[in-house]
Amino acid sequence: MKRIALSVFAVLVVGFVAIQLVPYGRAHSNPPVAGEPVWDSVATRALAVRACFDCHSNETIWPWYSNIAPVSWRLQSHVDAGREELNLSQWGSGGQDGDDVAEVVREGDMPPWDYLLTHSGARLSDAEKQDLIDGLTRTFGADGGDAGDDADSDDD
């Protein structure tokens, strides 16, 4: 029995070391910030930074465990998908809009549960979550459009 347990342990260790050779998940990049929405307030931006920016911007903070497979694979996948869906650092460069941003937060679809396990700063209180939803609605418009792009035209 001891020999079987030792063999299983050895296979697990060798497997863990072997998966570290897979490069996906450690090719972290933070491209330059091209532009951000016109936020309704500094407070809304601060809440978005806490809860959204690691996956939805080019300002991702890559923690130490983002270099260890298989966790690195999951984190890289989250960031790749998040930036593809909505990149708050590429605002104004085309292809980015605020459709449903407040709604996915309101419905609890964002941030993902597994992100919250390792990012305590993204765990918002009920009041902070409501402030974020309200701020996102003001930033992107009540219909979820890209009102942030038009905010400067309201000053005329």
Better-scored residue on pLDDT, 116 or 155: 116
131 in Cβ contact with 43 (< 8 Å): yes
Length in residues, the chain: 156
More confident site: 156 or 65: 65
pLDDT of 22-32, one tens digit each? 777 667 889 99
Cis omega before residue 70 (within 30°)? yes
CB 59 within 8 A of CB 116: no
pLDDT of 33 over the 50 cut: yes
User: What single string gives the DSSP state of each residue in the chain?
Assistant: -HHHHHHHHHHHHHHHHHHTT--TT-----PPP-B----S-HHHHHHHHHHTHHHHSS-----GGGGSTTHHHHHHHHHHHHHHH--TTBTTSSS---TTHHHHHHTT-SS-HHHHHH-GGG---HHHHHHHHHHHHHHH-TTSS-HHHHGGGGG-
The rounded mean pLDDT for the chain is: 84
**What is the arithmetic mean of pLDDT over 92-116?**
83
pLDDT in tens, 46-93: 999 999 999 999 999 998 988 888 888 888 998 999 999 999 999 977
State pTM to two decimals. 0.77
